[in-house]
Amino acid sequence: MTGSRKDDHVRLAVAQHGADGTPAHGTPSDDDHPTYPPSQFDEVHLTHHALAGTDRERVSLRTRCDVFDWRAPLYINAMTGGSTMTGDINRDLGIVARETGLPIATGSMSPYLKDPSTAGTFRGVREHNRDGFVMANVNAHATAEQARRAVGLLEADALQIHLNAVQETVMPEGDRSFGSWPAGIGRIVAGVDVPVIVKEVGFGLSGRTVSTLAGLGVRVADVAGRGGTDFARIENGRRPHADFAYLDGWGLSTPAALLDARGRGLPLLASGGVRHPLDVIRALALGAHAVGVSGGFLATLLHGGVDALVRQITRWLDHLTGLMTLLGATRPGELSECDVLVTGSLREFCTARGIDIPGTQGASR
Ligand SMILES: Cc1cc2nc3c(=O)[nH]c(=O)nc-3n(C[C@H](O)[C@H](O)[C@H](O)COP(=O)(O)O)c2cc1C
């Protein structure tokens, strides 16, 4: 990963999102009422029960599993580092993480592993956020020694390993060998002293993949599904003839991946195409412990600066508390007991995959 390629990714990814962080075709309309692009999240319905609500002061956003204890079920997911511009972004995101208390991941640290002079473009996330939960990020080809260096640079609390075979396939200069990834992940898990989280980059982790990861000693899986930043489209745009256009729509959407991957032995994180606080609630109701946002938050930061992103996240946290109050969930884990209905193509997906469809087993809340 070179610095200029990362700068391209930032530019092209932000072009997929609106100024307020919504995906591009979801920018505010004339009457300033934002509209959102369709998403499989829209096929996850939380049945309204008018007497289900609780008292706002009883609601806590805190979310925990054996790997983390976060004040809210929201995090800033992996994006940048390696170039001057993305170093500035990491510094700003570190400040946002400090101001909002959200966990944060840097982008892939391959540039640092190849060229230690880029260390400062990643360190900002920790230097401006001394007490926050920080995740380092490497690819599955990293050696255990490289993974330790990445963790050490950030004094990281956890290590993300990203799986991006689709992106590499479409990327003109991409990697073409993925066969060693499972063994490589196992070596990294054995060689670092922080928990390892494995994530996709927008094409989703299936249940089968999550089972394999559990067997490799990975502690958490971030399904990072389709529906938001689209790296097949970004890389295809960098090809002379954009000849991979037919891959549009490849992968599992975030709600589909959650439904496929739950019950496979790992705590799940959800990211990819999360448009607003209701999508966060939907992902939590489908079993995620916390929900990550990348491109949308980056667009807000680049259009409005640190203050705008702090305001957006503060508003999201306020809305999450409000929605949980409405739904009668006093903590995020209780949302999985909500009366969820799955319809449309997501329901068809569940049927075809033999997945129990939420809402058909007589949920009670
Ligand atoms: C500009 C940009 C750069 C990214 N770089 C990385 C990366 O280096 N490592 C990684 O694991 N994911 C990376 N991602 C993927 C995100 O972490 C996330 O999985 C994906 O964008 C889907 O989330 P979103 O729809 O909220 O953007 C990047 C995303 C963006 C927008």
Q: Can you give the residue ranges of every domain in the chain?
A: 3-21+37-353
What is the CA(199)–ligand 1 centre distance, in A? 10
What architecture (CATH level 2) is domain 3-21+37-353? Alpha-Beta Barrel (3.20)
Which ranges of the chain would DSSP assign to H, the alpha helix? Answer: 3-15, 84-100, 110-114, 120-127, 144-154, 165-170, 181-191, 207-215, 231-237, 254-261, 277-285, 295-327, 344-353
Query: Could you tell me the pLDDT band of residue 27, with boundaries at 50, 70 and 90?
Result: low
Q: What is the pLDDT of residues 115-145, one digit of tens each?
A: 999 999 999 999 999 999 999 999 999 999 9
Please give the DSSP secondary-structure letter assigned to residue 105: E
Among 79, 93, 230, say which to mutate for ligand 1: greatest number of ligand atoms within 8 Å of CB.
79
Number of other CB atoms surrounding residue 321 within 10 Å: 17
Compute the average pLDDT of residues 350-362.
Answer: 84
From 95, 105, 104, 103, select the one nearest 64 (Cα to Cα). 103
Q: What is the pLDDT of residue 261?
A: 98
Compute the average pLDDT of residues 93-118.
Answer: 98
- What are the respective helix, strand and coil percentages of the chain, to the nearest 5? 45, 15, 40
Report the C-alpha gap between 141 and 180 in whole angstroms. Answer: 8
- What phi and psi values does residue 235 have, to the nearest 5 degrees? -70, -35
Query: Could you tell me the pLDDT band of residue 285, with boundaries at 50, 70 and 90?
Result: very high
Q: What is the pLDDT of residues 42-63, one digit of tens each?
A: 999 999 999 999 999 999 999 9
Summary mean pLDDT of the chain: 94
What is the CA(131)–ligand 1 centre distance, in A? 23
Q: 104, 135 in Cβ contact below 8 A?
A: yes
Compute the average pLDDT of residues 204-224.
Answer: 98
Q: 247, 236 in Cβ contact below 8 A?
A: yes
Residues at CB less than 6 angstroms from ligand 1: 9-10, 13, 77-79, 107-108, 137, 160, 162, 199, 201-202, 224, 228-229, 271-274, 293-296, 298
Report the C-alpha gap between 123 and 118 in whole angstroms. Answer: 9
Q: Has residue 268 got a pLDDT over 70?
A: yes
Among 185, 294, 302, say which to mutate for ligand 1: greatest number of ligand atoms within 8 Å of CB.
294
What is the CA(79)–ligand 1 centre distance, in A? 5
Q: Has residue 156 got a pLDDT over 50?
A: yes
Q: Has residue 32 got a pLDDT over 90?
A: no
What is the CA(206)–ligand 1 centre distance, in A? 18
Query: Could you tell me the pLDDT band of residue 363, with boundaries at 50, 70 and 90?
Result: very low
What is the CA(63)–ligand 1 centre distance, in A? 23
Q: What is the pLDDT of residue 358?
A: 81
Instruction: Record the tokens describing residue 130, joined without a space.
Output: 């001394």
Compute the average pLDDT of residues 164-187.
Answer: 97
Q: Has residue 279 got a pLDDT over 60?
A: yes
Q: What is the pLDDT of residue 34?
A: 82
Q: What is the pLDDT of residue 357?
A: 85
Query: Could you tell me the pLDDT band of residue 249, with boundaries at 50, 70 and 90?
Result: very high
Structural element, H or E, at residue 221: strand 220-222
Closest protein CA for atom 10 of ligand 1: 78
Ligand 1 nearest-atom number relative to CA 162: 11
Q: What is the pLDDT of residues 322-338, one digit of tens each?
A: 999 999 999 999 999 99
Q: How far is CA 237 from the centre of its chain?
A: 23
Q: Is residue 153 classed exposed, middle or buried when 0-12, 13-18 and 19+ CB atoms within 10 A define those classes?
A: buried
